A and B are shown apart, each in its own frame.
Chain A
Amino acid sequence: MSVGAYSERPAAKSGEKDGFSVPWSRPRPKPRRAVSARLVSAITILVLLAAWTVAASLQLVSPVFLPSPAAVWAKFVVVARDGFVDATLLQHLFASLWRVFAALIAAIVVGVPVGLAIGISRIGRGVFDPLLEFLRPIPPLAYLPLIIIWFGIGEPSKILVIAIAMLAPVALSTAAGVRGVSRERVDAARSLGATRAQVIRHVVLPSALPSILTGLRIALGAGWSTLVAAELVAATRGLGFMIQSAAQFLVTDVVVMGILVIAIIAFALEFIIRRIERVLVPWAGRE
Protein backbone atom coordinates (compact mmCIF):
# COMPACT_ATOMS: atom_id res chain seq x y z
CA MET A 1 0.00 0.00 0.00
CA SER A 2 1.32 3.42 -0.88
CA VAL A 3 2.09 6.09 1.66
CA GLY A 4 -0.81 8.02 0.18
CA ALA A 5 -3.17 5.52 1.73
CA TYR A 6 -2.98 7.54 4.92
CA SER A 7 -4.69 10.53 3.32
CA GLU A 8 -7.38 8.34 1.87
CA ARG A 9 -8.58 7.31 5.23
CA PRO A 10 -11.86 8.78 6.35
CA ALA A 11 -11.76 12.29 7.81
CA ALA A 12 -9.78 12.49 11.01
CA LYS A 13 -11.76 11.76 14.09
CA SER A 14 -10.64 13.11 17.40
CA GLY A 15 -7.07 12.05 18.08
CA GLU A 16 -6.45 11.18 14.43
CA LYS A 17 -5.16 14.49 13.19
CA ASP A 18 -4.13 14.40 9.51
CA GLY A 19 -5.46 10.90 9.25
CA PHE A 20 -2.58 9.64 11.35
CA SER A 21 -3.32 7.17 14.05
CA VAL A 22 -0.49 6.32 16.36
CA PRO A 23 -1.10 4.58 19.64
CA TRP A 24 -0.11 7.58 21.76
CA SER A 25 -2.23 10.09 19.84
CA ARG A 26 -5.38 8.03 19.98
CA PRO A 27 -7.71 8.98 22.78
CA ARG A 28 -8.06 6.31 25.43
CA PRO A 29 -11.10 4.23 24.64
CA LYS A 30 -13.89 5.45 26.89
CA PRO A 31 -14.97 2.76 29.28
CA ARG A 32 -18.34 1.33 28.28
CA ARG A 33 -21.03 3.12 30.19
CA ALA A 34 -20.53 1.30 33.43
CA VAL A 35 -23.55 0.62 35.61
CA SER A 36 -22.85 2.52 38.79
CA ALA A 37 -22.52 0.50 41.96
CA ARG A 38 -25.04 2.80 43.59
CA LEU A 39 -27.67 1.93 41.02
CA VAL A 40 -27.05 -1.78 41.61
CA SER A 41 -27.38 -1.22 45.36
CA ALA A 42 -30.64 0.67 44.92
CA ILE A 43 -32.05 -2.07 42.70
CA THR A 44 -30.99 -4.76 45.19
CA ILE A 45 -32.81 -2.97 48.01
CA LEU A 46 -35.93 -2.48 45.88
CA VAL A 47 -35.96 -6.15 44.87
CA LEU A 48 -35.64 -7.25 48.50
CA LEU A 49 -38.43 -4.88 49.52
CA ALA A 50 -40.65 -6.26 46.73
CA ALA A 51 -39.90 -9.85 47.75
CA TRP A 52 -40.72 -8.96 51.34
CA THR A 53 -44.02 -7.34 50.29
CA VAL A 54 -45.01 -10.28 48.12
CA ALA A 55 -44.10 -12.85 50.79
CA ALA A 56 -46.07 -10.93 53.42
CA SER A 57 -49.16 -10.25 51.30
CA LEU A 58 -49.38 -13.87 50.10
CA GLN A 59 -49.09 -14.83 53.78
CA LEU A 60 -46.27 -17.24 52.87
CA VAL A 61 -45.16 -16.73 56.43
CA SER A 62 -47.38 -15.86 59.36
CA PRO A 63 -47.47 -12.09 60.10
CA VAL A 64 -46.28 -12.96 63.60
CA PHE A 65 -42.97 -13.93 62.01
CA LEU A 66 -42.90 -11.57 59.06
CA PRO A 67 -45.08 -8.44 59.17
CA SER A 68 -45.57 -6.63 55.86
CA PRO A 69 -43.53 -3.49 55.07
CA ALA A 70 -46.78 -1.51 55.26
CA ALA A 71 -47.46 -2.83 58.76
CA VAL A 72 -43.92 -1.92 59.83
CA TRP A 73 -44.31 1.57 58.41
CA ALA A 74 -47.70 1.98 60.10
CA LYS A 75 -46.13 0.86 63.37
CA PHE A 76 -43.31 3.35 62.86
CA VAL A 77 -45.84 6.17 62.62
CA VAL A 78 -47.76 4.95 65.67
CA VAL A 79 -44.68 4.46 67.85
CA ALA A 80 -43.25 7.78 66.74
CA ARG A 81 -46.50 9.53 67.76
CA ASP A 82 -47.89 7.53 70.69
CA GLY A 83 -44.86 5.57 71.84
CA PHE A 84 -44.27 1.97 72.87
CA VAL A 85 -43.72 0.79 76.45
CA ASP A 86 -44.13 4.25 77.94
CA ALA A 87 -41.85 6.20 75.62
CA THR A 88 -42.04 7.58 72.11
CA LEU A 89 -39.63 6.44 69.43
CA LEU A 90 -37.68 9.67 69.77
CA GLN A 91 -37.31 9.15 73.52
CA HIS A 92 -36.06 5.60 72.93
CA LEU A 93 -33.68 6.90 70.30
CA PHE A 94 -32.26 9.65 72.51
CA ALA A 95 -31.86 7.28 75.45
CA SER A 96 -29.73 5.05 73.22
CA LEU A 97 -27.82 7.90 71.57
CA TRP A 98 -27.00 9.39 74.97
CA ARG A 99 -25.58 6.06 76.19
CA VAL A 100 -23.48 5.59 73.07
CA PHE A 101 -22.11 9.13 73.14
CA ALA A 102 -21.40 9.11 76.87
CA ALA A 103 -19.53 5.85 76.28
CA LEU A 104 -17.69 7.35 73.30
CA ILE A 105 -16.50 10.29 75.38
CA ALA A 106 -15.36 7.93 78.14
CA ALA A 107 -13.55 5.79 75.55
CA ILE A 108 -11.80 8.88 74.11
CA VAL A 109 -10.80 10.21 77.54
CA VAL A 110 -9.26 6.86 78.47
CA GLY A 111 -8.37 5.40 75.07
CA VAL A 112 -6.44 8.28 73.49
CA PRO A 113 -3.98 8.69 76.40
CA VAL A 114 -3.59 4.91 76.64
CA GLY A 115 -2.91 4.72 72.89
CA LEU A 116 -0.44 7.58 73.22
CA ALA A 117 1.35 5.75 76.04
CA ILE A 118 1.51 2.56 73.96
CA GLY A 119 2.83 4.48 70.96
CA ILE A 120 5.53 6.55 72.63
CA SER A 121 6.80 4.55 75.59
CA ARG A 122 8.06 1.02 75.95
CA ILE A 123 6.68 0.85 79.48
CA GLY A 124 3.28 2.05 78.29
CA ARG A 125 3.27 -0.61 75.62
CA GLY A 126 4.29 -3.28 78.13
CA VAL A 127 1.53 -2.32 80.53
CA PHE A 128 -1.42 -1.64 78.24
CA ASP A 129 -0.90 -3.81 75.17
CA PRO A 130 -1.63 -7.17 76.86
CA LEU A 131 -4.62 -5.69 78.71
CA LEU A 132 -6.17 -4.44 75.48
CA GLU A 133 -5.41 -7.66 73.62
CA PHE A 134 -7.14 -9.51 76.49
CA LEU A 135 -10.18 -7.24 76.45
CA ARG A 136 -10.57 -6.88 72.69
CA PRO A 137 -11.90 -10.33 71.71
CA ILE A 138 -14.32 -10.77 74.66
CA PRO A 139 -17.94 -10.34 73.56
CA PRO A 140 -19.76 -7.68 75.64
CA LEU A 141 -22.44 -10.18 76.67
CA ALA A 142 -19.72 -12.19 78.43
CA TYR A 143 -18.61 -9.40 80.76
CA LEU A 144 -22.03 -7.79 81.16
CA PRO A 145 -22.99 -10.02 84.16
CA LEU A 146 -19.74 -9.21 85.96
CA ILE A 147 -20.27 -5.50 85.43
CA ILE A 148 -23.77 -5.78 86.86
CA ILE A 149 -22.40 -7.60 89.92
CA TRP A 150 -19.81 -4.86 90.38
CA PHE A 151 -21.72 -1.71 89.44
CA GLY A 152 -25.39 -2.63 89.74
CA ILE A 153 -28.12 -2.31 87.15
CA GLY A 154 -28.10 1.49 86.80
CA GLU A 155 -27.14 3.72 83.90
CA PRO A 156 -23.36 3.62 84.64
CA SER A 157 -23.23 -0.13 83.97
CA LYS A 158 -24.86 0.28 80.58
CA ILE A 159 -22.47 3.06 79.58
CA LEU A 160 -19.52 1.09 80.91
CA VAL A 161 -20.34 -1.98 78.80
CA ILE A 162 -20.49 0.13 75.65
CA ALA A 163 -17.35 2.07 76.62
CA ILE A 164 -15.36 -1.13 77.13
CA ALA A 165 -16.36 -2.28 73.66
CA MET A 166 -15.13 1.06 72.28
CA LEU A 167 -11.89 1.26 74.23
CA ALA A 168 -9.75 -1.13 72.20
CA PRO A 169 -10.43 0.39 68.76
CA VAL A 170 -9.79 3.93 70.07
CA ALA A 171 -6.59 3.03 71.92
CA LEU A 172 -5.14 0.75 69.23
CA SER A 173 -5.84 3.23 66.40
CA THR A 174 -4.25 6.02 68.42
CA ALA A 175 -1.19 3.83 69.08
CA ALA A 176 -0.91 2.95 65.38
CA GLY A 177 -1.17 6.62 64.44
CA VAL A 178 1.49 7.60 66.95
CA ARG A 179 3.87 4.89 65.79
CA GLY A 180 3.36 6.02 62.19
CA VAL A 181 4.59 9.58 62.81
CA SER A 182 7.51 10.26 60.50
CA ARG A 183 10.89 10.38 62.20
CA GLU A 184 11.93 13.41 60.12
CA ARG A 185 8.93 15.39 61.27
CA VAL A 186 9.80 14.76 64.91
CA ASP A 187 13.49 15.49 64.34
CA ALA A 188 12.65 18.71 62.50
CA ALA A 189 10.49 19.88 65.42
CA ARG A 190 13.20 19.00 67.94
CA SER A 191 15.81 20.89 65.96
CA LEU A 192 13.47 23.90 65.98
CA GLY A 193 13.63 23.81 69.76
CA ALA A 194 10.58 21.72 70.70
CA THR A 195 10.65 19.98 74.06
CA ARG A 196 9.39 16.40 74.40
CA ALA A 197 5.99 17.64 75.58
CA GLN A 198 5.81 20.13 72.69
CA VAL A 199 6.69 17.40 70.19
CA ILE A 200 3.80 15.30 71.49
CA ARG A 201 1.35 18.20 71.56
CA HIS A 202 2.32 19.90 68.29
CA VAL A 203 3.60 17.04 66.12
CA VAL A 204 2.64 13.58 67.35
CA LEU A 205 -1.03 14.22 68.15
CA PRO A 206 -1.89 16.11 64.94
CA SER A 207 0.03 13.50 62.89
CA ALA A 208 -1.98 10.73 64.56
CA LEU A 209 -5.32 12.52 64.19
CA PRO A 210 -6.42 10.79 60.95
CA SER A 211 -5.78 7.42 62.56
CA ILE A 212 -7.55 8.47 65.78
CA LEU A 213 -10.63 9.51 63.81
CA THR A 214 -10.65 6.17 62.01
CA GLY A 215 -10.54 4.55 65.44
CA LEU A 216 -13.55 6.61 66.57
CA ARG A 217 -15.48 5.50 63.51
CA ILE A 218 -14.76 1.83 64.25
CA ALA A 219 -15.53 2.41 67.96
CA LEU A 220 -18.88 3.97 67.15
CA GLY A 221 -19.79 0.90 65.13
CA ALA A 222 -18.69 -1.41 67.94
CA GLY A 223 -20.56 0.64 70.55
CA TRP A 224 -23.74 0.81 68.53
CA SER A 225 -23.77 -2.97 68.11
CA THR A 226 -23.21 -3.42 71.86
CA LEU A 227 -26.22 -1.23 72.60
CA VAL A 228 -28.87 -3.97 72.60
CA ALA A 229 -26.80 -6.08 75.00
CA ALA A 230 -26.33 -3.11 77.32
CA GLU A 231 -30.07 -2.42 77.34
CA LEU A 232 -30.96 -6.04 78.10
CA VAL A 233 -30.92 -5.45 81.83
CA ALA A 234 -33.25 -3.12 83.70
CA ALA A 235 -33.52 -0.45 81.05
CA THR A 236 -36.79 1.44 80.73
CA ARG A 237 -35.91 3.23 77.55
CA GLY A 238 -33.73 2.75 74.49
CA LEU A 239 -33.97 1.16 71.05
CA GLY A 240 -32.49 -2.10 72.31
CA PHE A 241 -34.94 -2.18 75.22
CA MET A 242 -37.83 -1.43 72.83
CA ILE A 243 -36.89 -4.38 70.63
CA GLN A 244 -36.46 -6.67 73.63
CA SER A 245 -39.85 -5.89 75.16
CA ALA A 246 -41.59 -6.05 71.78
CA ALA A 247 -40.06 -9.50 71.21
CA GLN A 248 -41.37 -10.72 74.55
CA PHE A 249 -44.92 -9.90 73.43
CA LEU A 250 -44.31 -11.09 69.85
CA VAL A 251 -44.96 -7.60 68.50
CA THR A 252 -42.79 -8.44 65.52
CA ASP A 253 -43.53 -5.26 63.54
CA VAL A 254 -41.96 -3.16 66.33
CA VAL A 255 -38.97 -5.50 66.40
CA VAL A 256 -38.42 -5.12 62.66
CA MET A 257 -39.02 -1.39 62.84
CA GLY A 258 -36.50 -1.06 65.70
CA ILE A 259 -33.87 -2.99 63.77
CA LEU A 260 -34.33 -0.73 60.76
CA VAL A 261 -34.09 2.42 62.89
CA ILE A 262 -30.85 1.13 64.48
CA ALA A 263 -29.44 0.42 61.02
CA ILE A 264 -30.40 3.84 59.67
CA ILE A 265 -28.92 5.68 62.66
CA ALA A 266 -25.68 3.69 62.38
CA PHE A 267 -25.49 4.61 58.71
CA ALA A 268 -26.11 8.29 59.54
CA LEU A 269 -23.41 8.30 62.23
CA GLU A 270 -20.89 6.79 59.82
CA PHE A 271 -21.76 9.46 57.27
CA ILE A 272 -21.43 12.29 59.81
CA ILE A 273 -18.05 11.12 61.10
CA ARG A 274 -16.71 10.84 57.54
CA ARG A 275 -17.75 14.45 57.02
CA ILE A 276 -15.98 15.44 60.22
CA GLU A 277 -12.86 13.63 58.99
CA ARG A 278 -12.90 15.61 55.79
CA VAL A 279 -13.08 18.90 57.70
CA LEU A 280 -10.61 18.06 60.47
CA VAL A 281 -7.93 16.20 58.51
CA PRO A 282 -8.14 17.42 54.92
CA TRP A 283 -4.52 16.45 54.41
CA ALA A 284 -5.09 12.72 55.00
CA GLY A 285 -4.11 10.81 51.89
CA ARG A 286 -2.71 13.91 50.18
CA GLU A 287 0.80 14.01 51.58
Chain B
Amino acid sequence: MTHLTLDKVSVHYDGQPAPAVERVSLDIAKDDFVVLVGRSGCGKTSLLNVAAGLVEPVGGLAAVGGRPITGPGSDRAVVFQNDALFPWLTARENVAFALRLRGVPADKRARRADGLLSLVKLGDAGDKRIWELSGGMRQRVGLARALAAEPEFLLLDEPLGALDALTRERMQTTLLDLWAAAHVGVLMVTHGIEEALVLATRIVVLAPGPGHVVRTFETHFGRRYAAGEPIRAIKADPAFAAARAELTDAIFEGEAA
Protein backbone atom coordinates (compact mmCIF):
# COMPACT_ATOMS: atom_id res chain seq x y z
CA MET B 1 0.00 0.00 0.00
CA THR B 2 1.18 3.51 -0.83
CA HIS B 3 2.43 5.52 2.12
CA LEU B 4 3.03 9.24 2.44
CA THR B 5 6.09 9.58 4.63
CA LEU B 6 7.95 12.47 6.17
CA ASP B 7 11.30 11.32 7.51
CA LYS B 8 13.01 13.65 10.01
CA VAL B 9 11.81 16.66 8.06
CA SER B 10 13.05 20.14 9.01
CA VAL B 11 11.70 23.40 7.63
CA HIS B 12 13.53 26.70 7.88
CA TYR B 13 12.12 29.71 6.07
CA ASP B 14 14.45 32.27 4.50
CA GLY B 15 15.08 35.22 6.77
CA GLN B 16 13.76 33.49 9.91
CA PRO B 17 16.15 33.16 12.86
CA ALA B 18 14.89 29.71 13.93
CA PRO B 19 13.57 26.72 12.01
CA ALA B 20 9.78 26.30 11.88
CA VAL B 21 9.93 22.51 12.13
CA GLU B 22 12.73 20.28 13.33
CA ARG B 23 13.11 16.57 12.54
CA VAL B 24 9.47 15.55 12.39
CA SER B 25 8.55 12.14 11.05
CA LEU B 26 5.10 11.05 9.93
CA ASP B 27 3.79 8.01 8.15
CA ILE B 28 0.36 8.06 6.56
CA ALA B 29 -1.12 4.95 4.99
CA LYS B 30 -3.88 5.14 2.41
CA ASP B 31 -6.64 4.37 4.91
CA ASP B 32 -5.32 6.67 7.65
CA PHE B 33 -6.88 9.91 8.74
CA VAL B 34 -4.02 11.75 10.42
CA VAL B 35 -4.76 15.03 12.15
CA LEU B 36 -2.09 17.52 13.20
CA VAL B 37 -2.95 19.68 16.21
CA GLY B 38 -0.98 22.08 18.33
CA ARG B 39 -0.62 25.66 19.39
CA SER B 40 0.09 28.46 16.93
CA GLY B 41 3.58 28.34 15.51
CA CYS B 42 4.03 24.60 15.98
CA GLY B 43 4.60 24.08 12.27
CA LYS B 44 1.39 22.19 11.40
CA THR B 45 0.82 24.03 8.15
CA SER B 46 4.53 23.90 7.27
CA LEU B 47 4.43 20.12 7.50
CA LEU B 48 1.30 19.95 5.37
CA ASN B 49 2.96 22.17 2.78
CA VAL B 50 6.00 19.90 2.74
CA ALA B 51 3.72 16.95 2.03
CA ALA B 52 2.01 19.01 -0.68
CA GLY B 53 5.35 19.88 -2.25
CA LEU B 54 4.72 23.59 -1.81
CA VAL B 55 7.52 24.00 0.73
CA GLU B 56 10.91 22.39 0.35
CA PRO B 57 12.36 20.96 3.58
CA VAL B 58 15.92 21.95 4.51
CA GLY B 59 16.52 18.52 5.98
CA GLY B 60 14.98 15.08 5.92
CA LEU B 61 12.97 13.43 3.19
CA ALA B 62 9.34 13.60 2.11
CA ALA B 63 8.15 10.80 -0.15
CA VAL B 64 5.05 9.18 -1.60
CA GLY B 65 5.27 5.45 -2.24
CA GLY B 66 9.04 5.72 -1.82
CA ARG B 67 9.39 8.42 -4.52
CA PRO B 68 10.75 11.71 -3.12
CA ILE B 69 8.35 14.66 -3.33
CA THR B 70 9.85 17.32 -5.60
CA GLY B 71 6.81 19.56 -6.07
CA PRO B 72 3.02 19.67 -6.01
CA GLY B 73 1.25 16.80 -7.71
CA SER B 74 -2.29 15.62 -8.27
CA ASP B 75 -1.58 12.48 -6.21
CA ARG B 76 -1.75 14.85 -3.19
CA ALA B 77 -4.64 17.29 -3.64
CA VAL B 78 -4.79 20.21 -1.19
CA VAL B 79 -7.89 21.90 0.22
CA PHE B 80 -7.31 25.23 1.95
CA GLN B 81 -9.20 27.04 4.68
CA ASN B 82 -10.37 29.67 2.23
CA ASP B 83 -11.89 27.68 -0.54
CA ALA B 84 -9.52 28.98 -3.28
CA LEU B 85 -12.20 28.17 -5.85
CA PHE B 86 -12.27 29.90 -9.22
CA PRO B 87 -15.14 32.42 -9.35
CA TRP B 88 -15.12 32.60 -13.17
CA LEU B 89 -16.17 28.94 -13.32
CA THR B 90 -19.39 27.25 -12.23
CA ALA B 91 -19.34 24.74 -9.38
CA ARG B 92 -19.25 21.91 -11.94
CA GLU B 93 -16.39 23.48 -13.89
CA ASN B 94 -14.47 24.00 -10.66
CA VAL B 95 -14.81 20.32 -9.77
CA ALA B 96 -13.80 19.32 -13.31
CA PHE B 97 -10.71 21.57 -13.25
CA ALA B 98 -8.14 18.80 -12.76
CA LEU B 99 -9.76 16.76 -15.53
CA ARG B 100 -9.68 19.73 -17.89
CA LEU B 101 -5.96 20.12 -17.22
CA ARG B 102 -5.52 16.52 -18.31
CA GLY B 103 -7.51 17.02 -21.49
CA VAL B 104 -10.47 14.82 -20.54
CA PRO B 105 -13.32 15.48 -23.04
CA ALA B 106 -15.97 17.95 -21.90
CA ASP B 107 -18.95 15.57 -21.63
CA LYS B 108 -16.95 12.98 -19.71
CA ARG B 109 -15.57 15.45 -17.20
CA ALA B 110 -19.02 17.01 -16.68
CA ARG B 111 -20.44 13.59 -15.86
CA ARG B 112 -17.61 12.84 -13.44
CA ALA B 113 -17.98 16.28 -11.81
CA ASP B 114 -21.72 15.78 -11.35
CA GLY B 115 -21.04 12.44 -9.70
CA LEU B 116 -18.62 14.03 -7.25
CA LEU B 117 -21.01 16.92 -6.56
CA SER B 118 -23.73 14.46 -5.56
CA LEU B 119 -21.19 12.65 -3.39
CA VAL B 120 -20.78 15.90 -1.41
CA LYS B 121 -24.59 16.39 -1.50
CA LEU B 122 -24.50 19.28 -3.98
CA GLY B 123 -25.99 17.33 -6.87
CA ASP B 124 -28.21 20.19 -8.04
CA ALA B 125 -25.67 23.00 -7.62
CA GLY B 126 -23.55 22.23 -10.68
CA ASP B 127 -24.57 25.33 -12.61
CA LYS B 128 -24.28 27.66 -9.64
CA ARG B 129 -21.63 30.34 -9.55
CA ILE B 130 -19.23 30.24 -6.63
CA TRP B 131 -20.46 33.49 -5.13
CA GLU B 132 -23.98 32.08 -4.98
CA LEU B 133 -22.87 29.34 -2.57
CA SER B 134 -22.61 29.46 1.22
CA GLY B 135 -19.30 28.91 3.00
CA GLY B 136 -20.09 25.25 3.74
CA MET B 137 -21.19 24.59 0.15
CA ARG B 138 -18.02 26.19 -1.18
CA GLN B 139 -15.89 24.00 1.01
CA ARG B 140 -17.75 20.94 -0.27
CA VAL B 141 -17.09 22.05 -3.85
CA GLY B 142 -13.43 22.41 -2.84
CA LEU B 143 -13.41 18.82 -1.53
CA ALA B 144 -15.11 17.50 -4.66
CA ARG B 145 -12.58 19.39 -6.79
CA ALA B 146 -9.71 17.82 -4.88
CA LEU B 147 -11.22 14.32 -5.24
CA ALA B 148 -11.69 14.80 -9.00
CA ALA B 149 -7.92 14.65 -9.38
CA GLU B 150 -8.19 11.07 -8.02
CA PRO B 151 -5.50 11.71 -5.44
CA GLU B 152 -4.05 9.04 -3.20
CA PHE B 153 -3.86 11.55 -0.38
CA LEU B 154 -5.98 14.54 0.61
CA LEU B 155 -4.16 17.35 2.40
CA LEU B 156 -6.61 19.52 4.32
CA ASP B 157 -5.37 22.81 5.78
CA GLU B 158 -8.00 23.82 8.34
CA PRO B 159 -10.72 23.10 5.80
CA LEU B 160 -13.51 23.85 8.28
CA GLY B 161 -11.79 26.74 10.00
CA ALA B 162 -13.82 29.49 8.32
CA LEU B 163 -17.22 27.87 8.88
CA ASP B 164 -19.78 28.54 11.61
CA ALA B 165 -20.05 25.99 14.41
CA LEU B 166 -23.17 24.22 13.14
CA THR B 167 -21.98 23.93 9.53
CA ARG B 168 -18.67 22.76 10.88
CA GLU B 169 -20.26 19.93 12.80
CA ARG B 170 -22.20 18.79 9.74
CA MET B 171 -19.08 19.01 7.56
CA GLN B 172 -17.22 16.69 9.94
CA THR B 173 -19.48 13.80 9.05
CA THR B 174 -19.28 14.77 5.37
CA LEU B 175 -15.50 14.50 5.62
CA LEU B 176 -15.74 11.06 7.23
CA ASP B 177 -18.18 9.91 4.53
CA LEU B 178 -15.83 11.11 1.81
CA TRP B 179 -12.83 9.53 3.44
CA ALA B 180 -14.65 6.20 3.55
CA ALA B 181 -16.00 6.49 0.00
CA ALA B 182 -12.90 7.76 -1.76
CA HIS B 183 -10.25 5.44 -0.27
CA VAL B 184 -7.76 8.21 0.29
CA GLY B 185 -5.28 8.84 3.04
CA VAL B 186 -5.92 12.15 4.78
CA LEU B 187 -3.52 14.56 6.44
CA MET B 188 -5.41 17.37 8.09
CA VAL B 189 -4.46 20.43 10.12
CA THR B 190 -6.97 21.79 12.61
CA HIS B 191 -7.36 23.96 15.69
CA GLY B 192 -10.41 22.04 16.84
CA ILE B 193 -9.75 19.52 19.58
CA GLU B 194 -13.15 17.86 19.29
CA GLU B 195 -12.85 17.93 15.52
CA ALA B 196 -9.54 16.10 15.72
CA LEU B 197 -11.07 13.41 17.95
CA VAL B 198 -14.13 12.93 15.76
CA LEU B 199 -12.20 12.58 12.55
CA ALA B 200 -8.80 11.10 13.20
CA THR B 201 -7.46 7.59 13.26
CA ARG B 202 -4.29 9.15 14.58
CA ILE B 203 -3.71 12.53 16.19
CA VAL B 204 -0.22 14.00 16.15
CA VAL B 205 0.30 16.71 18.76
CA LEU B 206 2.97 19.25 17.87
CA ALA B 207 4.54 21.94 20.05
CA PRO B 208 6.35 25.06 18.91
CA GLY B 209 9.88 26.29 19.31
CA PRO B 210 10.80 24.79 16.76
CA GLY B 211 7.92 22.53 15.77
CA HIS B 212 8.29 18.98 17.04
CA VAL B 213 6.05 16.03 17.89
CA VAL B 214 5.16 15.78 21.57
CA ARG B 215 2.66 12.93 21.47
CA THR B 216 0.79 10.67 19.11
CA PHE B 217 -2.68 9.32 19.89
CA GLU B 218 -4.30 6.41 18.09
CA THR B 219 -8.04 7.10 18.14
CA HIS B 220 -11.02 5.11 16.98
CA PHE B 221 -13.98 7.50 17.05
CA GLY B 222 -13.84 8.16 13.29
CA ARG B 223 -13.80 4.45 12.54
CA ARG B 224 -16.77 3.93 14.85
CA TYR B 225 -18.70 6.47 12.79
CA ALA B 226 -17.59 4.73 9.60
CA ALA B 227 -18.88 1.48 11.10
CA GLY B 228 -22.33 3.00 11.48
CA GLU B 229 -22.48 4.44 14.97
CA PRO B 230 -24.29 7.83 15.13
CA ILE B 231 -21.98 10.80 15.63
CA ARG B 232 -23.97 12.16 18.62
CA ALA B 233 -23.70 8.85 20.44
CA ILE B 234 -19.97 8.82 19.88
CA LYS B 235 -19.56 12.34 21.22
CA ALA B 236 -21.70 11.49 24.28
CA ASP B 237 -19.51 8.49 25.11
CA PRO B 238 -17.56 9.10 28.39
CA ALA B 239 -14.51 7.74 26.56
CA PHE B 240 -14.79 10.69 24.20
CA ALA B 241 -14.76 13.20 27.05
CA ALA B 242 -11.78 11.44 28.63
CA ALA B 243 -9.90 11.48 25.34
CA ARG B 244 -10.67 15.15 24.91
CA ALA B 245 -9.26 15.98 28.33
CA GLU B 246 -6.14 13.96 27.66
CA LEU B 247 -5.61 15.56 24.25
CA THR B 248 -6.14 19.07 25.66
CA ASP B 249 -3.55 18.38 28.34
CA ALA B 250 -1.08 17.17 25.73
CA ILE B 251 -1.56 20.29 23.61
CA PHE B 252 -1.01 22.72 26.49
CA GLU B 253 1.71 20.67 28.16
CA GLY B 254 4.84 22.66 28.84
CA GLU B 255 3.15 25.95 28.09
CA ALA B 256 3.86 28.64 30.64
CA ALA B 257 0.56 29.45 32.31
Chain A residues at the B interface, C-beta cutoff of 8 Å: 182, 184-185, 187-195, 198, 202-203, 206, 209, 281-283, 286-287
Contact = CB atoms under 8 A, between A and B. Distances in A.
Contacts, number: 74
Counting chain B CB atoms within 10 Å of each CB, the highest count among A185, A191, A194 belongs to: A191
Contacts of A202: 86, 97, 100-101
Contacts of B84: 182, 184-185, 187-188
Contacts of A195: 101
B76 interface: yes
B52 A209 contact: no
Given A202-B97, A203-B86, A209-B88, A193 B80 contact: no
A283 B73 contact: no
B88 A206 contact: yes
Contact of B101 (A185, A194, A282): A194
Interface string B125-162: 00001110000000000100110110000010000000
A192 B101 contact: yes
A191 B86 contact: no
A184 B82 contact: yes
A52 B28 CA distance: 81
B197 interface: no
Nearest to B71: A190
Contacts of A287: 87, 130-131
A190 B54 contact: yes
Nearest to B81: A184
Contacts of B53: 191
Nearest to A193: B74
B242 to A, nearest CB: 37
B6 interface: no
A211 to B, nearest CB: 13
A192 B77 contact: yes
B131 A192 contact: no
A282 B74 contact: no
B208 interface: no
Contacts of B78: 187-188, 191
B149 A193 contact: yes
Given A187-B54, A282-B129, A283-B88, 15 more contacts: A184-B84, A187-B80, A187-B84, A191-B72, A191-B76, A191-B146, A191-B149, A192-B149, A193-B101, A195-B101, A202-B100, A206-B88, A209-B88, A281-B88, A287-B130
B87 A192 contact: no
A287 B129 CA distance: 11
Contacts of B232: none
A284 to B, nearest CB: 9
Contacts of B72: 187, 190-191, 193
Interface size classification for chain B: 20 to 34
A189 B74 CA distance: 9
B98 A193 contact: yes
Nearest to B100: A202
A209 B88 CA distance: 10
Nearest to A206: B88
B143 to A, nearest CB: 12
B102 interface: yes
Nearest to A201: B101
A191 B86 CA distance: 14
Contacts of B80: 184, 187-188
A193 B80 CA distance: 16
Given A184-B82, A187-B52, A191-B72, A283 B149 contact: no
A283 B102 contact: no
Contacts of B87: 283, 286-287
A283 B52 contact: no
Contact of B74 (A192, A206, A286): A192
Complex A-B, nearest 5 residue pairs according to Cβ-Cβ distance, in ascending order: A193-B74, A283-B87, A190-B72, A184-B84, A191-B78
Contacts of A192: 74, 77, 97-98, 101, 145-146, 148-149
Counting chain B CB atoms within 10 Å of each CB, the highest count among A182, A185, A195, A206 belongs to: A185
Nearest to A188: B84
Nearest to A286: B131
A191 B52 contact: yes
A191 B54 contact: yes
20 contacts: A184-B84, A187-B52, A187-B80, A188-B78, A190-B71, A191-B73, A191-B149, A192-B101, A192-B148, A193-B72, A193-B74, A193-B98, A193-B149, A194-B101, A195-B101, A202-B97, A209-B88, A281-B88, A282-B129, A283-B88
Contacts of B71: 190
Given A182-B84, A185-B86, A281-B88, A191 B155 contact: yes
